[in-house]
């Protein structure tokens, strides 16, 4: 697989990463199978793996799967929630950042975290204190690169002045294009990479979800207004477009969604997640698809005519995470 540089600080990774979160959430396979999936991703050329303290036992899983591979892989994890609890208890105090780093190092079975993201902005802690604490961890050799997850442009600029930001992680896909409004331009200006999570729109862009789809009662998409039955009907035009382009290119809709993301900017590295080895192969093949300028312009013109309805999160959650 080809590699890409995230930012201008030297972090080079595979052009597709692997989002490990789903391997620790309801519906995930057994631990041994999850480890096998992670290692299959590596064996097929993926060198960039994403986890977080907040994802249950995910760091432990990723550590067990990847520790034997040493510096052949790059692992990103996140801080910013008190004690790593599943509740939204934001805490980016210097003390908690340090405690989170030490805990992540133990769980990941490593002596240095490759990329350390602030998981969510903390309104109670100045960004200068957050970045300054990570700067200290970098100087101590416990962290290599600094990242932000779901920040606004003001936070990006404030952090970058204190400590160069290597990557920003935000949701970005054909299904959610808000980063195009100002985030991507800011990243390009400052030399920061973009790591889109949910690049397949939480499965919506695969073409396998319709208005009639019934999710398992534990499926987190049940909480998302975007996945309400009526909103799925309203957003079907997007799926129809992706399916049409996929037929024209004789590939899958998921591959089109990933190829489109990669075509937007050379500093973009999506992190699709899956629990199935054959989906890894499919996603990697999507990274090899290219569009002519005419093809890409035609897709973008069609996207501009489609109005996506439905919020990403329930209002109660949005008020806590700021998005």
- Buried b / exposed e over 192-223, threshold 16 CB at 10 Å, is bbbbbbbbbbbbbbbbebeeeeeeeeebebee
Alpha carbon 251 to its chain centroid, in Å, reads: 23
Determine contact, residues 84/103, Cβ cutoff 8 Å: yes
Q: CA 226, CA 233: separation in Å to the nearest integer?
A: 10
Q: Which of 55, 117, 145, 172 is catalytic?
A: 55
CB 202 within 8 A of CB 227: yes
Residues 140-144: contacts with CB under 8 Å, at least 24 apart = 141/111, 141/112, 142/101, 142/105, 142/111, 142/112, 142/113, 143/101, 143/112, 143/113, 143/116, 144/11, 144/112, 144/113, 144/114, 144/115
Cβ-Cβ contacts under 8 Å for 65 (sequence gap 6 or more) = 34, 35, 38, 39
Q: What is the distance between the alpha carbons of residues 147 and 6, in angstroms, rounded to a whole number?
A: 10
CA-nearest of 253, 246, 291 to 272 is 253
Is 55 an annotated catalytic residue? Answer: yes
Cα first-last separation, the chain: 33
Active site residues: 55
């Amino acid at each position: 697989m080809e590699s890409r540089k995230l930012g201008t600080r030297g972090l080079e990774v595979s052009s597709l990463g692997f989002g490990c979160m789903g391997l620790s959430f309801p519906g995930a396979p057994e631990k041994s199978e999850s480890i096998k999936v992670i290692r299959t991703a590596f064996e097929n050329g993926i060198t960039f793996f994403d986890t977080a303290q907040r994802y249950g036992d995910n760091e432990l899983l990723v550590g067990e799967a990847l520790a034997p591979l040493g510096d052949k892989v790059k692992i990103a994890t996140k801080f910013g929630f008190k004690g790593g609890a599943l509740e939204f208890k934001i805490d980016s105090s210097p003390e908690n950042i340090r405690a989170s780093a030490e805990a992540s190092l133990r769980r990941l079975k490593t002596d240095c975290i490759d990329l350390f993201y602030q998981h969510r902005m903390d309104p109670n802690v100045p960004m200068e204190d957050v970045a300054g604490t990570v700067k200290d961890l970098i100087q101590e050799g416990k962290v290599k690169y600094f990242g932000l997850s779901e920040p606004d442009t003001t936070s990006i600029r404030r952090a970058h002045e204190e400590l160069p930001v290597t990557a920003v992680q935000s949701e970005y896909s054909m299904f959610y294009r808000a980063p195009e409004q100002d985030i991507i331009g800011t990243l390009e200006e400052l030399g920061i990479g973009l790591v889109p999570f949910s690049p397949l729109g939480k499965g919506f862009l695969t073409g396998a979800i319709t208005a009639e789809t019934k999710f398992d009662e534990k499926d987190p998409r049940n909480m998302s207004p975007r996945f309400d039955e009526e909103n799925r009907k309203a957003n079907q035009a997007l799926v129809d477009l992706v399916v049409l382009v996929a037929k024209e290119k004789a590939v899958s809709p998921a591959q089109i969604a990933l190829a489109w993301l990669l075509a937007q900017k050379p500093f973009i590295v999506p992190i699709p997640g899956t629990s199935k080895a054959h989906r890894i192969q499919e996603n990697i093949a999507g990274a090899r698809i290219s569009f002519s300028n005419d093809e890409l312009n035609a897709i973008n013109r069609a996207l501009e005519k489609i109005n996506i309805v439905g919020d990403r999160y329930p209002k109660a959650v949005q008020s806590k995470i700021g998005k």
